[in-house]
Homo-oligomer: A and B are copies of this chain.
Amino acid sequence: MNPNINELRTKSGSSADLFGKDFLLTWEKSREALETNLNVAEDLKMLRDKNISPRCFDSGLAISQFRDNSTRTRFSFASAANLLGLAVQDLDEGKSQIAHGETVRETSAMISFLSDIIGIRDDMFLGAGNTYMREVGSALDEAFADGVLPQRPGIINLQCDIDHPTQSMADLLHLKNVFGSLENLKGKKIAMTWAYSPSYGKPLSVPQGIIGLMTRFGMEVDLAYPEGYGLIPEVVELSGKQAMVSGGSFRIVNSMEEAFSGADIVYPKSWAPFHVMQRRTELLRKSDHDGLKGLEKECLANNARFKGWECTEEKMKLTKDGKALYMHCLPADISGVSCKEGEVTATVFERYRVPLYKQAGFKPYIIAAMMLTNRFENPTVLLNDLCGNKQRMNRCYR
C-alpha cells in the first residue's frame, strides 16, 4: 500500500478555542472550534485507515478518572491516547465519594507533573460532575501559574451531569457522514426522545448533549418526554436560543409519536427526571441507602406508566419516508433481548446495528482530536506532516 500523499493533505482548520483549553461543554466552543474537532477526527481516522501512524507524542500520560463504571468510554479514551502516543494511567479514588476542595486541589497537582491530558467521567451527582471538572481545572491553572507544573494538562469531559461532549460530537460526526456534510444537516429533523427502560438513574447528559449541540447546526430539534421527565432548565433554554441563531428550531413535546413524525433522525433513550436526580444527589450525599431504595422503587413505578415510549416499527413508520436514522449511545435496552420491555424493539435495533456501531466508532477519533487540538496549536501543519511521513507507517501488511 502506497498512500498518495496529495490525496492525504488535510484541511483540519484552525484550533482557536481548543489549544490549551479544556473541553467541558460543546456550547462553550465556537462553531469553528467544533468543526476543527470534527476535521481533525476525520483526518486521524483517514490516517489510521491508511495504516499511517498519527503518533505525535514521544511520551506522555493521559490520566483517566472514571467515577462511574464504563467499558466503551474507557476503551475509546485508551484508544485515542494510544493512537497519539500517550500512555493511560488510571486514577481510581473510589467511585462514590465526592472529593473535597482541598483534596482536589492537591491531588490535581500531584498527578500532573508529567501529564498531558486528564479525562474525567463524573455523572453520578447532579450539580457536581461539571463543577468537579472545573475545580480540577482551577487547581491546574493555579499550579501552572505557580510554576509547580511545567505544562497545564488539558481536561476532557468524558461525561458529566450536564453534557457528554465526546458522545454528542461523535454523534454529530456520524450525522455528517450519513448526510454528507454539516451543511446538509440544516433543516433536518431530529427527535431526541425519552424511552422506557426498566432501570433507573440514567444520567441526563446524553439528551442534554444532543439538544445543546444539534440546535447549533440549523436542525429541527424535537425533545420529547412524558410529563415530569424534564431536563436541566438552563440547557433547555440555551437550546432554544441556539436554534433561533442557527436558523433551526427547538420544540418540547410530550408525545413520542409527535416527535417521530417526519423526523430524519430519531434518538430514543431513557433518562431519569431532573427532579429525581436532584433528590438522588441529596440522598447520595447523605449516604441514605433506605432513601435511595425508596426513590428507586418510586421512580421505577413511575417509569412503568410509560412503557408505551418504545421505539417500534410502527413508530418508525411515522418518520420521514419511514426511514429515519435510528441513533443510540449504546448499550440500548432492547425489548426481548437485553430486557423484557425496553427502549427499542429488536427488529428496529437489528436493522440499524451497523450504523449504530459506526456511530460508536467515531468516539475514539473525537477524543483523540480533543487531545491533539488541546496540545498542538496548529493541527493542520502537524497532520500534513504526519500524512507525508512515510517513515511513520505503523503496520506493514506486506
Contacts and interface: CB of A to CB of B under 8 A. Distances in A.
Interface of A: 45, 48-49, 53, 55-61, 71-72, 75-76, 78-80, 82-85, 87-89, 91, 93, 102-103, 106-107, 109-111, 113-116, 143, 146-150, 330-331, 334, 337-338, 354, 357-358, 360-361, 363-364, 375-378, 381-382, 392-398
Contacts of A91: 71, 75
B354 A375 contact: no
Number of copies: 3
A85 B377 CA distance: 25
Contacts of A146: 354, 357
Contact of A71 (B60, B110, B148, B338): B110
A378 B394 contact: no
A79 B149 CA distance: 13
28 contacts: A48-B114, A48-B150, A55-B58, A55-B59, A57-B395, A59-B83, A60-B394, A71-B93, A71-B107, A72-B111, A78-B89, A79-B114, A79-B115, A83-B114, A87-B87, A102-B337, A102-B338, A110-B360, A113-B360, A113-B361, A113-B363, A143-B357, A148-B354, A148-B358, A149-B361, A378-B398, A382-B396, A382-B398
B48 A53 contact: no
A64 to B, nearest CB: 11
Contacts of A358: 147-148
Contact of A147 (B103, B337, B354, B393): B354
